[in-house]
């Protein structure tokens, strides 16, 4: 049995530090979404200010990436988490095995890219389209407003599906939502199978 080297010990230490850093990023994001009633502003503000000084410079590196941010949703933290996950996993693997191969590295990058970028995009769009379809059957003043909010996110995809599958032909909104939802689910399955196949090939390198 090989004795771990100093570099392996350092790699495991750095991996542990990055895990803690990832937790701080989660805390920063979650507390930016939630405002507790009767919160002690000064105490929480001081805590978030401290965490922000640690994690915001890293998150800001990804805030300008085009295509990851809309008026409603900011996906840029996913890219930040993906990069952290890749580096952390590579350090952990090297810390345990003492070596890295090209196949392991490329496979890990492909798997992380799918898990943190591709899969969440599909999950969010499938969820929003499912809710939008529910609103097609339950029309109230509130659901109409919420449906418009959802379409501000998925409207581009729905318009593309209409052009591809229906052209200039008029189509009922409910039908368009159903077709878009089914198309998105099928596309998700294809992407998932494709990434599984690619990762299995890379693992053999």
| pTM reported for the whole predicted model | 0.70
Of 100, 129, 164, which residue constitutes the final position of a domain?
A: 100
Question: Do 6 and 85 fall into the same domain?
Answer: yes
Of 100, 132, 151, which residue constitutes the final position of a domain?
A: 100
Q: How high is the pLDDT of residue 42? A: 44
Contact 180, 161 (CB under 8 A): yes
Q: How high is the pLDDT of residue 74? A: 66
Question: Do 1 and 46 fall into the same domain?
Answer: yes
**Alpha helix (H) residue ranges in the chain:** 6-33, 41-60, 76-97, 102-113, 119-137, 141-165, 173-202
Domain ranges, residue 140: 106-205
Q: How high is the pLDDT of residue 62? A: 82
Q: How high is the pLDDT of residue 129? A: 94
Q: How high is the pLDDT of residue 188? A: 95
Of 80, 100, 120, which residue constitutes the final position of a domain?
A: 100
Question: Do 56 and 140 fall into the same domain?
Answer: no
- pLDDT lower than 70: segments of the chain: 1-4, 32-45, 66-75
As to burial, measured by CB atoms within 10 angstroms (0-12 exposed, 13-18 middle, 19+ buried), residue 164 is exposed
């Amino acid at each position: 049995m090989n004795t771990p080297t100093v570099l392996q010990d350092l790699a495991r230490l750095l991996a542990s530090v990055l895990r803690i850093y990832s937790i701080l990023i989660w805390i920063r994001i979650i507390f930016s979404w939630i405002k507790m009633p009767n919160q002690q502003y000064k105490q929480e503000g001081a805590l978030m200010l401290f965490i922000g000084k640690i994690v915001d410079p890293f998150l800001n590196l990804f805030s300008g990436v085009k295509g990851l941010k809309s008026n409603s949703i900011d996906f840029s933290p996913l890219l930040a988490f993906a990069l952290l996950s890749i580096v952390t996993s590579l350090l952990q693997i090297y810390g345990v095995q003492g070596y890295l191969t090209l196949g392991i590295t490329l496979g890990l990058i492909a798997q992380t890219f799918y898990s943190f970028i591709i899969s969440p995009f599909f999950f969010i769009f499938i969820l929003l389209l499912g809710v939008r379809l529910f609103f097609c059957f339950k029309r109230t003043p509130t659901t109409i407003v919420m449906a418009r909010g959802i379409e501000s996110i998925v409207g581009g995809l729905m318009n593309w599906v209409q052009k591809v599958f229906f052209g200039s032909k008029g189509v009922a909104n409910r039908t368009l939502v159903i077709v878009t939802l089914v198309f998105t689910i099928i596309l998700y399955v294809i992407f998932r199978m494709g990434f599984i196949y690619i990762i299995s090939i890379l693992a053999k390198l």
